Every structure is written in C-alpha cells, then in structure tokens.
Structure 1
Amino acid sequence: MNTNAQRAIVLSLLVLLMAATRSHVFSHFTPVPDASWAAFFIGGFYLRGWARWAFPLLMALAVGIDWYVITSQGISFWSHYCVSPGYWFLIPAHLAMWLGGLWLRRGYEGASWTALGKLALSVVVATAVCHLLAQGSFYWLSSSVAEPSFAGWWKNYTDWFLPYLRSTAMFVAVAAIAQVASEQVVKASRGEARDSARR
C-alpha cells in the first residue's frame, strides 16, 4: 500500500465503517458491532505515511459521531452516562490500536503463517491495552461507579474484554482476507505478464 490513491481509498472505507457502526454505542440502533477499534488498527497498518493527520482525523470523527448521537437524543454531551473525565483516555486507547497495526506492518512482506501469528498477537495485545485505557479510565474516573475497587474493576475488565476482542478481530479478519486476496491478484497478474513476455 504505497500510493496516495490507495491510502485515500482505505481512509474513506474506514470513515464509512466508523460512521456506519459507531452510532450504536450510544443509540443502540445498529445491530452491527462497533468497528472503531478495528478501524484504528487497520489505519495503523495501511496509513502509516499519513499518521500525522489520518489518526487525528479518525479521532475527531469518533468524537463527532459520539456528540451527534448523544445530542440528537436531546441529551447534553457532557451529561451523558458514557462521557466522563475518562472519555479523553479514548485518545491513547485508540492510539494503542493504531500502534498495533503499525507494528504489524513493519517487516510485513506478504501473507504467511508467521504474519498470521503476528496478526493474532498484535490484535490481542492492542485490544487488551486499548480496553485497559478505555474501560479503566471510565471505571476509575467516572462518577457512575459508586464504590470502585480493584476486584470490581477486574471483573468489569474481564467481562467485557472478550466481546470487544471478538468484534475487533472480526473486522480485522475481513481486512486481512481482503489483503491476502489482493496479494493473490497481484501475483497472478505478474505471472501473466511474465508469461506474455516469454511468448
């Protein structure tokens, strides 16, 4: 993924994916899981050359969607249950996902069993860190938790970790399948070009 046109396509798809799925976080109208964490991970993999502005753009989009969904319900953004001082920890939380994708991209030379292992590792670790920051900041900084305790935090963390990992892995898997398919198309076209050159 080297050309600006390709990056623009990926960024556009990530914007559409977030816009289509993130709204359910507050409105519960969308049956599809939130793809935000996966979008940042995929962005880290494909958009490393655009990180300085693509990451802030996706972050601003996430906040904008949250604001729109909350205020469209007639609720003040700052008084919503999910918005607390911990809300701003979503920035480093999403950055953890982005860095997971960036780490996976480094040294990536095409689909292989090694690359698949790195993909699984990076998704699990990035999601664990992201969840730690997002869930932990809400649990410890929100007034919604009356009597926070380590045991209560741990139970909350473990209760929600697998559902978040599952939904993130689902969207990343779709992107990985598309990546492998595109690599196969490129290989096939190069093979045809070589065959034509030999004739």
Structure 2
Amino acid sequence: MPKTSTQRLGIFVVLAVVMAATRMHHSILHHFDALPDASWGIFFLAGFWLRGAGRWAFPLLMAEAVLIDYLVISGQGLNFWSHYCMSAAYLALLPAYFSLWMGGSLLARYQVGLRLQTLGMAAVAFLASWAVCYLLSNGSFYWLSDSVPLPRSMAAWSANMADWYLPFLQTTALYVGIGAVLHVLATQVSRALNGAAHSSR
C-alpha cells in the first residue's frame, strides 16, 4: 500500500517512541524485564512499513538506539566506552539491525496482500533475518568482547547461543506479531473506508 510522506513520518515516530520506551526501560544492562526491548522487532517492522525510506529512517533509528544506550549507561554514572557491553562487537549491531530491516523490506516488496502466501513469506523473511541478526550480535559479542572469559571455543559459543536463542526469538516475534495484527486491522479499515467512499458517490 503506497504511503504519503506524512504517513511515513507518522509511522516512524510511533516506532521510534516504542523503541525508546522499551529500550530505555529494558536497557542493555538488564535482560527481559516486564517490558522487553522491542528494538529487533522495530527494525523488522520499520523495514516493512518504511520500505523506500531507508536512507533516512534506518540511520535515525540506529542513532536512536545508540543514544539510548549511551544515556542509560552514563545515567548510571558509568563510562560508556568501558562498559562490559561496549567493545568492537558493538559495531556489529549495525549489520545485525540492517539484516532485520532488509527482511522487512524484502517482505514488503514481494508480499501479495492479505493472503496465505504472504503469511508464509512473512515467516521466512522474519526467521531468516532474525537468525542473521542473532548470529551477528551474539557471535560478535562472544568472539570480540573482552567481557567473555578466555579460552573461547565453538562448543562454548554454541551453548551460549542456545541459552539465549528462544528468549530473543520469542521477544522479537511478540512485537512483530503485534505489528502484523495492527497491519491487518489497518488494511481492513482502509478497505472498508475506501469501499464506503466509493459507494456514496
């Protein structure tokens, strides 16, 4: 469905607010509080809803994520650059989040409306892009961060990924699922309003 510049901006603002609220509450210092971090789901949904606006929307969301992390860490009186989450691995969040954006963007490009085929495409796009994001974020932290004790091994990395696999997948799927429901409802309402407008002519 084509979107006006105003609609794109409105969608962006809503997504940015949700990410700020959940990432700030959750922060990178805690895991899975009452309000889980929506960032991964936000990047996938943004790629879907804001396809074509990636030149400005993705960098702004990325900058917001970094700014929130900085504010949360420095707000607790800690040095941002010496925090245990900060290392060369933090740079891997850029391609990690971009993989989610691309998953949503590709889905938007090839989806065929509210059909079963689109549901299958959505599942594949989500799981594939999420897996790449998880691999990049988890792998970079394990192999590049000084916070992970030596010696490192493939076996230990595999165990670490297995520990966090389901929690991260469930959280991201929750937010993407909420977004999917909202998308279906908005599409149906739009169709109903357009149909009413045509019938009144």
Q: Give the TM-score taking structure 1 as reference length.
A: 0.94
Residue 71 of structure 2 corresponds to 68
| Alignment partner of 2:42 out of 39, 54, 62 | 39
Comparing 27-36 and 132-141, the one that deviates more: 27-36
**Corresponding residue of 2:7:** 6
Partner of 1:17: 18
Percent of residue pairs bearing the same amino acid type: 48
Q: How many residues align?
A: 197
Which aligned runs of 4 or more in structure 1 are off by greater than 4 angstroms? none
Corresponding residue for residue 146 of structure 2: 143
Structure 1: how far apart are the matches of 2:4 and 2:195? 22
| In structure 1, C-alpha distance between the alignment counterparts of 2:198 and 2:59, rounded to whole Å | 43
Contact 1:110–1:183, Cα closer than 8 Å, also in 2: no
Contact map agreement 2:111 2:121 (CA 8 A) in 1: no
Q: 1:25 Cα shift? A: 2.9
CA shift for structure 1 position 27 = 4.3
Residue 185 (structure 1) aligned with residue 192 (structure 2): no
1:174 Cα deviation from its structure 2 partner: 1.0
Q: After superposition, where does 1:21-170 map in structure 2 within 5 Å?
A: 21-23=22-24, 24-28=26-30, 31-146=34-149, 147-170=151-174
Show structure 1 runs of 5+ residues with no match.
none
Q: CA deviation at 1:107?
A: 2.2
Question: Which stretch shifts more, 176-185 or 20-29?
Answer: 20-29
Deviation at 1:111, TM superposition (A): 1.2
Q: Which residue identity lines up with residue 173 of structure 1 in the other structure?
A: G
The whole-number CA distance in structure 1 between the counterparts of 2:147 and 2:140 is: 12
SS at match of 1:26: coil
The worse-fitting range, judged by mean Cα deviation, of 100-109 and 124-133 is: 100-109
TM-score (norm 2): 0.93
2 CA distance for matches of 1:185 and 1:26? 37
